[in-house]
Amino acid sequence: MTDKTIGIIGGGQLGRMLAMAASRLNFRTIILEPQADCPALQLANRQIVAAYDDEAALAELADACDVITYEFENVPVAAARFLADRRPVYPPPRALEVAQDRLAEKTFLNDCGIRTAGFRAVDSQVDLETALAEFGGAGVLKTRRLGYDGKGQKVFRAGDDAAGAYDALGAVPLILESFIAFDREISVIAARAVDGSIACYDPAENVHRGGILHTSTLPAEIFEGTSSDARSAAIRLLDKLDYVGVIGIEFFVATDGALIANEIAPRVHNSGHWTEAACVISQFEQHVRAVTGLPLGDPVRHSDCVMQNLIGDDIHDVRDWAGKPDVLVHLYGKAEPRPGRKMGHVTRLTGRA
């Protein structure tokens, strides 16, 4: 019988959906999250309201749980290591280290034999100008840490003036990435169990708007070989990290089908929400299974589908969505529909797979 308690760091919609999946398998969940009455709490057993680096709270979480996981990749690595001294922490803290720093991430991906955009570390204005010269004056300058959904970035086209750009992004460690030509974006949601077994869902084709995921469509319009390349990249990467849990890996796809990895998210991923509607075992249950030592579920997809995020005021269309056939609506229990805020998602089944 399954009677463990799972600690989840982070109480947003991903923690909420993990808690929901956990409850269906008889697991209890405790959320560690500084925001009181967080979205995850409605579905979880308990919330510890504390900062992610509060050691007393972390110790309390470890004492109360059998295993600990997280819903976002910016969990302080020190906190994850503090917990890992006391209880199993999945995915391993090493995955956080890699994912939190774009330089470490791209270096790691290349070490796994996975192609990325060209990149240069930028720790000064001089570094920036040298790197830009190497990339023909074009590239995307990004903070190495804590950037997401397009924030903390600056784009350079050939001829743009780079003066002051290092300071403008905060004079923090940066990375310059070369532009790459690509036709489409895909992601692979994969899971690895404690015993090393791996399950990959079919790649989703993703469309972003304003730097935020808009839709994920299954199947992706890609070559069969691109799909299997994405899977084997996922497998190499998961094995190398001795990973446990679900991971999301984003790729650009070139016209010839070649893959260029963009980033990894060591957690359940927005581009995997479709699994809830089109697979027997969702990415959320898959993650719960992995971290609790249950066998991984079969990631087979019974239907084609399109997942669409409901951002900000999109939430007001919920009644219309609910009236359409073959649409699963999932809302996150957030009170205020602020611009850019992920309020929910809908998945429309478009045919049998």
Residue labelled with tokens 């791996």:
198
Cα within 13 Å of Cα(88), Cβ side = 15
- Cα(242)–Cα(225) distance, integer angstroms: 26
Residue range at the interface with a second copy (CB under 8 A); choices 60-68, 130-138, 265-273, 324-332? 324-332
Q: How far is the CB of 293 from a second copy (least distance, A)?
A: 9
Residue 110 is a binding residue for a second copy (CB under 8 A): no
Please tell me whether residue 197 binds a second copy under the rule CB under 8 A: no
Looking at this protein, which amino acid is placed at residue 126?
V
26 binds a second copy (CB under 8 A): yes
The number of angstroms, rounded, from the C-alpha of 72 to the middle of its chain's C-alpha atoms is 7
Residues 6+ apart with CB under 8 A from 134: 120
| Residue 196 near a second copy by CB under 8 A | no
Interaction of residue 295 with a second copy, rule CB under 8 A: yes
The single-letter DSSP state of residue 75 is S
The stretch among 137-145, 183-191, 221-229, 311-319 that binds a second copy (CB under 8 A) is: 311-319
Q: Between helices 283-292 and 13-24, what is the axis angle to 10°? A: 70
Q: Measured over all CA atoms, what is the biggest interatomic distance in the chain, rounded to whole angstroms? A: 64
Candidates 140-148, 165-173, 218-226, 331-339 — which segment interacts with a second copy by CB under 8 A? 331-339
Q: Which amino acid is at 10?
A: G
Among 6, 38, 43, 238, binds a second copy (CB under 8 A): 43
**The amino acid at 239:** D
Cβ within 8 Å of residue 209, ≥6 positions away: none
- The answer to the question of residue 195 lying near a second copy (CB under 8 A) is no
Tell me how many residues contact a second copy (CB under 8 A): 42
Q: Is 66 helix (H, G, I), strand (E, B) or coil?
A: coil
Instruction: Examine residue 280 and tell whether it contacts a second copy (CB under 8 A).
Output: yes
Measured from the CB atom, the residue of 41 and 189 that comes closer to a second copy is: 41
Q: Minimum distance from CB of 46 to a second copy (Å)?
A: 10
> Which residue, 140, 124, 126, is CA-closest to 172?
124
Q: Considering the rule CB under 8 A, would residue 291 count as an interface residue with a second copy?
A: no
Least distance (Å) between residue 189 CB and a second copy: 17
- Assigned token pair, 131: 């790197």
Q: Per CB under 8 A, which region of 156-164, 183-191, 205-213, 310-318 contacts a second copy?
A: 310-318
Interface with a second copy, residue 115, by CB under 8 A: no
331 binds a second copy (CB under 8 A): yes
Q: Which residues bind a second copy (CB under 8 A)?
A: 1-2, 20, 23-26, 28, 42-43, 45, 277, 280-281, 289, 294-295, 297-298, 300, 302-303, 315-316, 318-319, 322-323, 325-333, 337, 344, 349, 352-353
